[in-house]
Amino acid sequence: MPRVARLMSDSGYMHVIVRGIGRHLLFEDTHDYKHYLNRLERYCKETDVKVCAYCLMANHVHMLVHGESSSIILLMKKIGVSYSGYFNKKYDRVGHLFQDRYKSEPVEDEKYLLTVFRYILQNPEKASICATRDYPWSSYALYDRAPDFMDLSVIKDLLGDSTQYAKYIASESDEECLEYNDGKHDDEWAKEVFAKCLGKSAVTDLQTLDKRNRDEALVKLKKCGLSVRQIERLTGLGRNIVQKAGN
């Protein structure tokens, strides 16, 4: 069956997501994150694409980019091929690293541009990893010192100074943005991930652990892709306990 043509943007702004195949980790250590960002900077300059925001999570990447449609496609191809080769060689693996082709959506108005911008930067906090401002692998800290491959001029015109920026990023939004939705995030999937991640078959076992071991287990589950709501529902632990683990 032929692929559906990718919907591109008239404004030049696109929200793109790449994810590890089967939720495979894309980044095992600090050097991996740095290598991906190095490749991103290099290929942005080669394709004349600018990044407005990025967030590198353990098994997926969100970016808000601006450029010609053909240039964005070329950028994603270049970085996908290059990083896959690097990762497979380093970790002695073969086969695809990324799940299918990257996902994308056009961003056509200023309101949604800001919504996507905030959504990308809030990813670590939404995943209960850490506060948005404390996550080292996003562009949050670059608002007033963006490198050459980034362009925040339009964003800054809309948001203002760094105080207004921080206030906006900390605010909530009811509008949903593009995410992977492949029908595999149900509770049966979550139980399988739980068993693989912790080596336990009974999800309620976490209730019997002391606080330190329980919190370590909760952090692992969140890094494996389980949502706070799923963990709360499956383990019987309170939402505050799950959210605070690792923070």
Give the pLDDT mean for 202-206: 69
Mean pLDDT of 86-109: 86
* Predicted pLDDT of residue 25: 85
Q: 2 pLDDT exceeds 80?
A: no
pTM of the model: 0.70
Closest CA to 132 of 178, 179, 175, 169: 169
pLDDT recorded at residue 198: 81
Going through 78-166 in order, the beta strands assigned E by DSSP cover 103-107
Residue 214 has pLDDT above 70, yes or no: yes
DSSP state of 60: E
Partner residues linked to 107 by β-bridges: 13
User: So what's the pLDDT on residue 89?
Assistant: 92
Q: Give me the residues paired with residue 62 across strands.
A: 17, 55
Tens of pLDDT, residue by residue over 230-240, are: 787 777 787 77
